[in-house]
Amino acid sequence: MDTKDLSPKEVEQLLNSLKFPKKVLGLQEIWDKLTKLELDSIKSSTEIIDEDNDILYILHIHRGRIGDKYSMHLRFKDNNIHIARVDINPPRHENPDGTVLERGQHHIHIYSNSYKKRDSIAYVLSPAEFPNVSNIVNVLESFIHKIKIEERTG
């Protein structure tokens, strides 16, 4: 599978494939940083592995000093291309087809091979999938549920 040129079907397969933190307690380190009641910026990453497809990812969370603006993404470790990214309270975004998501309109980018920049297309977040975007912890929970990351058990 060429992660630089995935078909929509391959993207869906990868997003729906179960993934695990490579390191034991890898997600716990991120949870610990997010749940501290600090106003500092956050930059936190952990490696995620998809054993079925033999792919290593990076899960990255970034919040600047402005606490209500943040982003999280899952990218391929070998080429840094994002397969999925959520932006909360983002700047204005224009999709390649000319549709516009206004400043502050929460959205998700899903890999598409239709454009050179694979994460060019943004879609408004579904309230059913992301019911509480006012809290970074809740957004991360929704994001890891959507991209099928689970802690290992047993």
Does pLDDT of 34 surpass 80? no
pLDDT tier for residue 31 given thresholds of 50, 70 and 90: low
pLDDT one-digit tens code per residue, 141-153 = 999 999 999 887 6
Domain assignment of residue 111, given as a range: 8-146
pLDDT one-digit tens code per residue, 49-106 = 999 999 999 999 998 876 688 999 999 999 999 999 999 999 999 999 999 999 999 9
With respect to residue 151, please indicate whether it lies within any of the assigned structural domains: no
- Residues near 90 by Cβ (< 8 Å), separated by ≥ 6? 69, 71, 101, 103, 104, 105, 106, 107
With respect to residue 109, please indicate whether it lies within any of the assigned structural domains: yes
With respect to residue 152, please indicate whether it lies within any of the assigned structural domains: no
With respect to residue 85, please indicate whether it lies within any of the assigned structural domains: yes
Taking the model in full, what pTM does it have? 0.90
Radius of gyration of the chain, Cα coordinates, nearest whole angstrom? 15
Q: What is the pLDDT of residue 148?
A: 95
Q: How many domains does the chain have?
A: 1
With respect to residue 140, please indicate whether it lies within any of the assigned structural domains: yes
